[in-house]
Amino acid sequence: MLNIVLFGPPGAGKGTQSEKIISKYSLTHISTGDLFRKHLSEGTDLGKLAQKYMDEGNLVPDEVVIGMVEVKIKETGDVAGFIFDGFPRTVAQAEALDQLLESRNTPISGMVALEVEDDELRNRILERGKDSGRADDQSIDKINNRISVYKNETLPVAEFYKNQDKFYPINGVGSIDSIFENICDKIDSFK
Ligand code: ADP
C-alpha cells in the first residue's frame, strides 16, 4: 500500500493537492477537517463537540480525533492506500496512527510537507474566507491563532517523521501543477 501523510500549515494547499494525488494514485482520502465539517453540517454530537474548537482555530482533543480516524480506517475495505490530510496534527495522533496502521500491517510510506511562509498563508486564507463560509477563515485573529497552534502543536509531527526517515519537504509556492509535479516525484520515490 501507499500511505501518505500530506502535511503543512493551514492554507498551504493540502486540499487542492490531495484531490490531484487521489485521482492519480487512487488513494482513499482521510481529511479530519472535512470529516468534522460533515459532522457539523449533519448536527451530530461529534460535530457539536468539535465546533467550539474549530470555530476558534484550536485543536479538537486527540482522543476525539483518533477515535474518528480509527472508525474510518476500520470501515474501509481493501484499498490501494490512504492519504491523510490534516492528520496527524499532534505527536500523540502520529503515534496512534502508526498503531492503527500496524493493525492493518501497512506503514506510512512518507510525509509530504508543503512549506509556505506565514504572510502568504494569511492572504490565501482571507481570500478563501470570502466564499468558504468557514468561521475559522473569517478573522485575522482566528487565522493567526491557527498558525500559532500549527507551530506549537503540529510542527513537532514533522520531527516524528524525520526521525523515521520519512520526511519530504516541498515548496508550496508556485503553480498548482508545478507543485503537484514535485509532489509526484517524491511519491514515486517511495515505491
Ligand atoms: P486548515 O488546515 O485549513 O486549518 P482543516 O480543515 O484541516 O483546516 O481543519 C479545520 C479545523 O478542524 C482545525 O482548525 C481543528 O479545529 C479541527 N481539526 C481538523 N483536523 C484535526 C486534527 N487532526 N486534530 C485536531 N483538530 C483537528
**Predicted confidence (pLDDT) at residue 21 exceeds the cutoff of 80:** yes
Does 104 belong to an annotated binding site? no
How far, in Å, from the CA of 54 to the mean position of ligand 1? Answer: 7
Q: Give Cα 7 distance to the centre of its chain.
A: 5
pLDDT one-digit tens code per residue, 92-138? 999 999 999 999 999 999 999 999 999 999 999 999 999 999 999 99
Q: What is the pLDDT, as a whole number, of residue 176?
A: 98
Q: What is the pLDDT, as a whole number, of residue 49?
A: 97
The domain of 65 spans 2-190
CA angle 19, 72, 15 (to 5 degrees): 20
38 is catalytic: no
Using CB atoms within 10 Å of the CB of residue 14, give its burial: 0 to 12 exposed, 13 to 18 middle, 19+ buried: buried
Q: Which of 14, 72, 124, 142 is catalytic?
A: 14
Q: What is the pTM of this model?
A: 0.96
Which residue's CA lies nearest to atom 14 of ligand 1? 57
**Predicted confidence (pLDDT) at residue 173 exceeds the cutoff of 90:** yes
The three-state secondary structure class of 86 is coil
Largest CA distance in the chain: 43
> For 102-113, b where at least 16 C-beta lie within 10 A, e where not — what string?
eeeeeebbbbbb
134 is catalytic: yes
Number of structural domains in the chain: 1
Shortest CA distance to 89 belongs to which of 14, 170, 177, 169?
Answer: 14
CB 116, CB 172: distance < 8 Å? yes
Ligand 1 atom nearest to 57, measured from its CA: 14
pLDDT one-digit tens code per residue, 24-80? 999 999 999 999 999 999 999 999 999 999 999 999 999 999 999 999 999 999 999
Nearest-angstrom CA–CA distance, 91 and 109: 17
Which residue's CA lies nearest to atom 16 of ligand 1? 54
Nearest-angstrom CA–CA distance, 88 and 173: 23
The CATH number of the domain holding residue 115 is 3.40.50.300
What pairs with residue 114 in β-bridges?
A: 170
Residues in CB range of 102: below 8 A, 6 or more apart: none
Which of 41, 51, 59, 116 gets mutated to test ligand 1 (max ligand atoms within 8 A of its CB)?
59
Reported confidence tier of residue 191, pLDDT bands at 50, 70, 90 = confident
- Taking residue 138's Cβ as centre, other Cβ atoms within 10 Å add up to 16
